[in-house]
Amino acid sequence: MRLGIIGLPQSGKTTLFNALTRGSQPTGAVSGKMEVHTGVVDVPDPRVDVLSGMFKPRKTIYTKVTYADIAGLDGSAGKTGISGALLNQLTQMDGFIEVVRCFEDESVPHPAGSVDAQRDIATMEAEFILNDLIAVERKLERLAEERKKGAGRDKAVVERELALFERFNEALAAETPLRDVEISAEEEKILSGFGFLSRKPMLIVLNIAENQDAPVIASVHQHTKIVALKGKLEMDIAQLSTEDAGVFLEEYGIDEPSLNRVIRLSYDLLGLQSFFTVGEDEVRAWTVRRGANAHEAAGEIHSDLQKGFIRAEVIGYEELIALGGLNEAKGKGKLRLEGKEYLVKDGEIMHVRFNI
pLDDT tens digits, residue range 30-65? 556 778 999 998 888 999 999 999 999 999 999 999
The amino acid that residue 193 corresponds to is G
Residue 28 confidence (pLDDT) above 70: no
Element at 352 (helix H, strand E): strand 349-354
Rounded average pLDDT over 224-251: 86
Identify the bridge partners of residue 285 per DSSP, sorted by sequence position.
276
For every residue of 185-203, DSSP letters joined together read HHHHHHGGG---GGGS-EE
- Determine which of 4-13, 253-262, 277-286, 298-307 has the lowest per-residue pLDDT on average: 253-262
pLDDT at position 260 = 80
pLDDT at position 175 = 94
Q: What is the DSSP letter of 80?
A: G
**Among 226, 252, 282, which Cα is nearest to 58's?**
282
Domains of the chain: 291-354 (3.10.20.30)
Residue 109 confidence (pLDDT) above 90: no
Angle at the Cα of 15 from the Cα atoms of 14 and 18, rounded to 5 degrees = 80
pLDDT at position 31 = 56
CA 281 vs. chain centroid, Å, equals 30
Secondary structure class of 49 (helix, strand, coil): helix
Cβ contact 335:315 at 8 Å: yes
> For residues 235 and 245, what is the distance between their CA atoms, to the nearest angstrom?
11
> For residues 235 and 203, what is the distance between their CA atoms, to the nearest angstrom?
18
Q: What is the DSSP letter of 345?
A: -
164-211 pLDDT per residue, tens: 999 999 999 999 999 999 999 889 988 988 899 999 999 999 999 888
Cβ contact 3:202 at 8 Å: no
Residue 5 confidence (pLDDT) above 90: yes
Predicted TM-score (pTM) above 0.75: yes
> For residues 38 and 232, what is the distance between their CA atoms, to the nearest angstrom?
19
Cβ contact 269:201 at 8 Å: yes
